[in-house]
A and B are shown apart, each in its own frame.
Chain A
Amino acid sequence: MTMNRRQFLQAGTAVLSAVPFARSFAAIAAPADQIVVATGQTINSLDLHRTGTNRPSYQIAINCYDRLVTFGTKTLENGDVSFDYSKIEPELAESWTISDDGLAITFKLKPDAVFWDGRKVTAADVKWSFDRAVTVGGFPTTQMRAGGFSRPDQFEAIDAETFLVKLDKPSKLSLPDLAVPVPFVINSEVAKANATAEDPWATEYLHTTPAGSGAYKVARWDSGQQIVFERFDGWVGGPLPKVKRIIQREVPSPATRRALIERGDVQISFDIPDKDAAELASKMTVHSTPIANTIHVVGLNFNFEPFQDANVRKAIAYAIPYEEIFKSAAYGRGAPLWGATEPIEDTVWPRKSPYFTDLDKARELMAASGFANGFEVPLSISTDLATWMEPTALLIQEAVGKIGIKTEIEKIPGANWRTAVLVEKKLPFHLENFGGWLDTPDYYYFWAYLKGNLFNSSNYHNDEVAKLTEETLPMAQDDPQYLPKIKRMFEIAFEDLPRIPLYQPALNVAVNGSGGYEFWFHRQLDLRSLGATEA
Chain B
Amino acid sequence: MNGRGAAISLRIAQAIPVVIGVIVISFLLTRALPGDPAVQFAGAAATPESIEQVRQSLGLDKPLPEQFIIYVGQLLQGDLGQSVSTGRPVIQELAARLPASLELTLVALILSCAIAIPLGILAATRPGSWVDQLCRLLVTAGVSLPTFFTGLVLIYVFYYLLGIAPSPLGRLDFIYLDPPHVTGFFLIDSLLDGDPATFMGALRQLILPAATLALFTLAPIARMTRTAMLSALGADYIRTARAAGLNRGKILYGYAFRNALLPVVTTLGMVFSFVLGANVLVEKVFAWPGIGSYAVEALVVSDYAAVQGFVLAMALLFVVLNLVIDLAYSIIDPRFGADAK
Please list the residues of chain A having a beta carbon within 8 angstroms of any beta carbon in chain B.
Answer: 1, 4-5, 7-8, 11-12, 15, 18-20, 22-23, 25-26, 28-29, 36, 38, 42, 44-45, 50-55, 137-139, 141-143, 146, 207-208, 222-226, 228, 247, 249-253, 255-256, 259-260, 262-263, 265-266, 384, 413-419, 422-423, 437, 447, 452-454
Cβ contact within 8 Å between A4 and B118: yes
Option from B51, B114, B119, B287 in Cβ contact (under 8 Å) with A256: B287
* Closest Cβ–Cβ distance, residue A220 to chain B (whole Å): 9
B300 touches A45 (CB 8 A): no
| CB <8 Å contact, A142 and B50 | yes
Tell me which residues from 159 to 184 in chain B have a Cβ below 8 Å from any Cβ of chain A.
159-160, 163-171, 173-175, 178
The minimal Cβ–Cβ distance linking A453 to chain B, given in whole angstroms, is 8
Answer yes or no: B136 CB below 8 A from chain A CBs.
Answer: no
A250 proximity list for chain B (CB < 8 A): 287
> In B15-29, which residues have CB < 8 Å from any A CB?
none
Q: Which residue of B34, B88, B115, B293 is within 8 Å of A252 (Cβ)?
A: B293
In contact, B284 and A259 (Cβ under 8 angstroms) = no
Contact B164 A19 (CB under 8 A): yes
A336-B216 Cα distance, complex, nearest whole Å: 45
The interface size of chain B toward A, counting residues with CB under 8 Å, comes to: 74
* CB–CB A139/B45 < 8 A: yes
B55 → A minimal CB distance (Å): 10
Per DSSP, are chain A's interface residues mostly helix, strand or loop, or mixed?
A: mixed
Which A residue sits closest to B93, measured CB to CB?
A: A223
B164 near A22: Cβ-Cβ < 8 Å: yes
**Could you tell me if A51 and B158 are in contact, using CB atoms closer than 8 angstroms?**
no
Q: Specify which chain A residues have a CB less than 8 angstroms from the CB of B118 in the assembled complex.
A: 4, 7-8, 11
With A and B bound together, what is the CA distance between A251 and B167 in angstroms?
A: 11
- Contact status A19-B158, CB under 8 Å: yes
Query: Contacts A52-B84, A138-B50; is A4 near B121 (CB within 8 Å)?
Result: yes
Chain B residues, CB < 8 A from A419 = 34-36, 39
The one of B87, B126, B207 in contact with A22, judged by C-beta atoms closer than 8 angstroms, is B207
B53 touches A1 (CB 8 A): no
B114 touching A11, Cβ below 8 Å: yes
Residues of chain A contacted by B287 (CB below 8 angstroms)? 225, 249-253, 256
- Closest residue on chain A to residue B122 by CB atoms: A4
Contacting B34 at CB < 8 Å: which of A36, A51, A251, A413?
A413
User: Are A415's CB and B46's CB within 8 A?
Assistant: no
Q: Is the beta-carbon distance between A224 and B294 smaller than 8 angstroms?
A: yes
Interface residues of B (CB under 8 A from A): 33-36, 39-48, 50-51, 53-54, 57-58, 84-88, 93, 96-97, 111, 114-115, 118-119, 121-122, 125-126, 131, 148, 152, 155-156, 158-160, 163-171, 173-175, 178, 204, 207, 248, 283-287, 289, 293-294, 297, 299-302
Q: A28-B175, A249-B170, A454-B45 in contact; A51/B160 too (CB < 8 A)?
A: no
Q: Given A139-B42, A255-B152, A225–B168 Cβ distance below 8 Å?
A: no
A-B Cβ contacts below 8 A, count:
195
Residue among A36, A228, A416 having the largest count of chain B Cβ atoms under 10 Å: A416
Determine the distance from Cα of A218 to Cα of B155 in the docked complex, in whole angstroms: 31
- Can you list 9 A-B pairs, Cβ within 8 angstroms, ordered by A? A11-B115, A22-B204, A143-B45, A225-B170, A252-B293, A255-B155, A259-B159, A265-B169, A454-B45
Q: Indicate if the CB atoms of A224 and B289 lie closer than 8 Å.
A: yes
The docked-state distance in angstroms from the alpha carbon of A266 to that of B173 is 12
Complex formed: what's the CA distance from A153 to B289 in Å?
A: 45
Hey, which chain A residues are within 8 Å of B286, CB to CB? 253, 256
Known: A23-B204, A250-B287. A142 touches B46 (CB 8 A): yes
Sorted nearest first, the 7 A-B pairs with minimum C-beta distance are A415-B35, A139-B43, A137-B53, A416-B34, A52-B84, A52-B41, A22-B204
Q: Which residues of chain B are near A452, meaning CB under 8 Å?
A: 48
Question: Which of B45, B121, B175, B286: most chain A CB closer than 10 A?
Answer: B45
B54 / chain A contacts, CB cutoff of 8 Å: 51-52, 137-138
A15 to B122: give the CA distance in the assembly, Å.
19
How many angstroms between the C-alpha atoms of A8 and B222 in the bound complex? 14
Contact B41 A22 (CB under 8 A): no
* A139 near B50: Cβ-Cβ < 8 Å: yes
Interfacial chain B residues near A226, Cβ < 8 Å: 170, 174
**Which of B50, B174, B297 lies in contact with A42, CB distance below 8 A?**
B297
A29-B175, A416-B35 as given contacts; A52 in contact with B85, CB under 8 Å? yes
Q: Complex Cα distance A453/B50, Å?
A: 12
Bound Cα distance from A249 to B96, whole angstroms = 17
The reply to whether A1 and B35 form a contact with Cβ atoms under 8 Å apart is no
Give Cα A396 to B166, complex, Å: 44
Do A25 and B207 touch across chains, with their CB atoms under 8 A apart? no
- List chain A residues, Cβ under 8 A from B174: 29, 36, 226, 228, 247, 249
In angstroms, Cα B171 to Cα A228, docked, is 16
Is A415 within 8 A of B170, CB to CB? no
Residues of B within 8 A of A7 (CB): 118
Contact B155 A146 (CB under 8 A): no
A55 interface neighbour in B44, B51, B283, B289, Cβ under 8 Å:
B44
Taking the closest CB of chain A, its distance from the CB of B254, in whole angstroms, is: 15
**In contact, B45 and A415 (Cβ under 8 angstroms):** no
**Other A-B pairs, 20, CB within 8 Å; known A4-B118, A259-B155:** A7-B118, A22-B164, A29-B167, A50-B87, A51-B54, A51-B84, A52-B58, A55-B44, A137-B57, A138-B43, A224-B293, A225-B170, A252-B284, A256-B287, A260-B168, A263-B159, A263-B160, A263-B163, A265-B169, A447-B45
Minimum CB distance partner of B287 in chain A: A251
Q: Which residues of A contact B289 (CB under 8 A)?
A: 222, 224-225
Contact call A23/B97, Cβ cutoff below 8 A: no
Give the shortest distance, in Å, between B37 (CB) and chain A (any CB). 8
**Chain A residues positioned under 8 Å from B170 (CB to CB):** 225-226, 249
The reply to whether A29 and B45 form a contact with Cβ atoms under 8 Å apart is no
B36 closest partner in A (C-beta): A419
Bound together, the chains give a CA A54 to CA B298 distance in angstroms of: 13
Which A residue sits closest to B96, measured CB to CB? A223
| Complex contacts, A52 vs chain B, CB 8 Å | 41, 54, 58, 84-85, 87
**Neighbour of B42 across the interface among A5, A138, A253, CB < 8 A:** A138
Say yes or no: A413 contacts B164, CB within 8 Å.
no
Give the shortest distance, in Å, between A262 (CB) and chain B (any CB).
7
